[in-house]
């Protein structure tokens, strides 16, 4: 079945939102890359190991932002043309870069332990540039958090929180640089202030480098969401009574985040209702499954050629029962919509006939589960529990006066 045909597809505001999140990930990449370059120059000029560690920190973050950007870009692509190979290359690069970061970190540790031990030369302009970088990161982080809360995007929230951590690690570097500028000296375990700050910042680098490595490795091993999680998503979708069929369901991992895409058939022609249901399903998935960045739901009305009809019976011979909940048997027949002939017929025992209370509602829920489209009854179900269950599920209830199954089917055509 084609994805676009007959499919109201995702809402336009949603894809605009996805593009906006994507753009911010791109800005994060550019900002961190710029800062890495600037701090790299400052480190070279000053000879400060703390500033060098800060430069590696920003470089690590720019790679992480690039990986997030790649993952987000994938979320807007169609399933059939999903370039899994390309995506794996992106992650291979992150893993490679993670190793490079660990190597750079190791170099700093070596410098701290066995370096010449020269004191850095700090000028006022270095302090000004570092201060500027902290302000930029702080503003960017606040922007990510604000937009993340509004769009409920886990990617943006994580990005914003990370920028807050970056502000903290940058403040450590700035503190060391300022103390050096004023000629303040302090030794601890044979380490001076600059070396201590460098070691502290390395802890932050190790954390983001480790995340880059494990996220990248996970995608390299398997980019699809695990079967258990997909089963939970399917359960959530199927628990919506108007869902007739889940045609397809796929999930992808992008770093820590998950993208879910599904194609469902709804038992309604009402577009507004279908839209509301799709929204509700999305909400439930986001609420119950962690780290889901985006849910894309394609829905279409039921266009099958058959209608499933249920009737309460007194016996298995096809005698209609006047009571809905108490009927010992139910017939479920499949009728062709055009030719009106019966293609399939099942007689089922009513599993709830002996309940003391609420059997009508239980029976109605059971029939909804059996994917029934229409119910024929002699009793009036309007304003009664089962009637509400059926109307919620889009099941059509018709009152008939006939006494046998075949007459009832004739009557209700």
The two three-digit tokens of residue 34, written as one number: 């710029």
- Rounded least distance, CB 208 to Zn ion, Å: 5
Closer Cβ to Zn ion, 166 or 215, answer by number:
166
294: closest CA among 15, 83, 65, 23?
15
The residue range among 117-125, 200-208, 313-321, 398-406 that interacts with Zn ion, by the rule CB under 5 A, is 200-208
Total chain residues near Zn ion (CB under 5 A): 3
**If binding is defined by CB under 5 A, does position 211 make contact with Zn ion?**
no
Cα distance between residue 25 and residue 185, in whole Å: 40
Closer Cβ to Zn ion, 61 or 215, answer by number:
61
Cα distance between residue 413 and residue 404, in whole Å: 15
The two three-digit tokens of residue 158, written as one number: 């994580």
**If binding is defined by CB under 5 A, does position 166 make contact with Zn ion?**
yes
- Rounded least distance, CB 233 to Zn ion, Å: 32
- Rounded least distance, CB 162 to Zn ion, Å: 6
Q: Which residues pair with 258 in a beta bridge?
A: 253, 292
Closer Cβ to Zn ion, 75 or 208, answer by number:
208
The two three-digit tokens of residue 241, written as one number: 């009574």
Buried b vs exposed e over 330-357: b needs ≥16 C-beta within 10 Å? bbbbbbeeeeeeeeeeeeeebebbeeee
Closer Cβ to Zn ion, 100 or 352, answer by number:
100
Could you tell me if 294 and 310 are in contact, meaning their C-beta atoms sit under 8 angstroms apart?
no
- Rounded least distance, CB 276 to Zn ion, Å: 41
- Rounded least distance, CB 35 to Zn ion, Å: 10
The residue range among 15-23, 160-168, 244-252, 254-262 that interacts with Zn ion, by the rule CB under 5 A, is 160-168
- Rounded least distance, CB 58 to Zn ion, Å: 7
- Rounded least distance, CB 220 to Zn ion, Å: 22
Which x/- pattern, by CB under 5 A, does the window 34-73 give for Zn ion?
A: ---------------------------x------------
- Rounded least distance, CB 60 to Zn ion, Å: 6
Residues 6 or more apart whose Cβ sits within 8 Å of residue 227: none
Name which of residues 80 to 119 contact Zn ion (CB under 5 A): none
The residue range among 71-79, 111-119, 161-169, 232-240 that interacts with Zn ion, by the rule CB under 5 A, is 161-169
Host H or E run for residue 7: none
Residue 158: C-alpha distances to residues 142, 153, 184, 201, 360 (Å): 12, 9, 37, 20, 48
Could you tell me if 173 and 51 are in contact, meaning their C-beta atoms sit under 8 angstroms apart?
yes
Considering just the CA atoms, what is the radius of gyration of the chain in Å? 31
The residue range among 23-31, 96-104, 159-167, 277-285 that interacts with Zn ion, by the rule CB under 5 A, is 159-167
Closer Cβ to Zn ion, 141 or 318, answer by number:
141
Closer Cβ to Zn ion, 58 or 261, answer by number:
58
Phi, psi for residue 235 in degrees, rounded to 5: -60, -45
Could you tell me if 298 and 264 are in contact, meaning their C-beta atoms sit under 8 angstroms apart?
yes
**Residue numbers of the site for Zn ion (CB under 5 A)?**
61, 166, 208
């Amino acid at each position: 079945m084609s994805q676009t045909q007959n499919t109201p597809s995702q809402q336009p505001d949603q894809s605009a939102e996805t593009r906006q999140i994507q753009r911010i990930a791109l800005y994060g990449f550019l900002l961190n890359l710029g800062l890495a370059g600037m701090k790299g120059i400052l480190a070279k000029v000053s000879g400060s190991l703390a500033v060098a560690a800060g430069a590696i920190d920003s470089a690590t973050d720019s790679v992480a932002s690039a990986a997030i950007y790649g993952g987000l870009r994938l979320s807007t692509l169609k399933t059939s043309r999903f370039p899994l190979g390309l995506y794996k290359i992106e992650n291979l690069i992150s893993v490679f870069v993670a190793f490079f970061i660990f190597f750079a970190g190791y170099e700093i540790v070596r410098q701290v332990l066995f370096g010449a031990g020269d004191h850095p030369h700090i000028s006022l302009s270095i302090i000004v540039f570092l201060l500027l970088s902290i302000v930029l990161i702080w503003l960017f982080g606040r922007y990510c958090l604000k937009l993340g809360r509004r769009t409920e995007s886990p990617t943006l929230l994580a990005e914003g929180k990370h920028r807050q951590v970056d502000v903290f690690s940058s403040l450590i570097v700035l503190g060391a640089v300022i103390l050096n500028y004023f000629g303040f000296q302090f030794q601890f375990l044979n380490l001076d202030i600059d070396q201590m700050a460098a070691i502290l910042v390395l802890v932050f680098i190790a954390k983001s480098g480790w995340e880059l490595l494990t996220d990248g490795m996970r995608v390299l091993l398997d980019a699809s969401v695990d079967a258990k999680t997909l089963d939970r998503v399917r359960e959530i979708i199927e628990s919506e009574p108007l869902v007739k069929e889940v045609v397809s369901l796929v999930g992808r991992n992008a770093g820590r985040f998950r993208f879910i895409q599904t194609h469902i058939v709804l038992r309604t022609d009402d577009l507004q209702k279908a839209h509301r249901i799709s929204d509700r399903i999305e909400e439930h998935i986001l609420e119950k499954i962690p780290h889901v960045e985006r849910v894309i739901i394609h829905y279409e009305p039921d266009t099958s050629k058959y209608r499933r009809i249920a009737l309460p019976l007194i016996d298995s011979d096809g005698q209609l029962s006047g009571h809905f909940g108490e009927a010992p048997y139910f017939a479920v027949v499949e009728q062709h919509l055009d030719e009106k002939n019966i293609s399939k017929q099942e007689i089922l025992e009513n599993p709830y006939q002996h309940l003391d209370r609420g059997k009508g509602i239980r029976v109605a829920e059971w029939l909804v589960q059996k994917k029934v489209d229409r119910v024929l009854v002699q009793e009036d179900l309007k304003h009664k529990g089962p009637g509400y269950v059926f109307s919620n599920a889009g099941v059509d209830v018709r009152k008939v006066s006939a006494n046998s199954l075949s007459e009832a089917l004739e009557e209700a055509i």
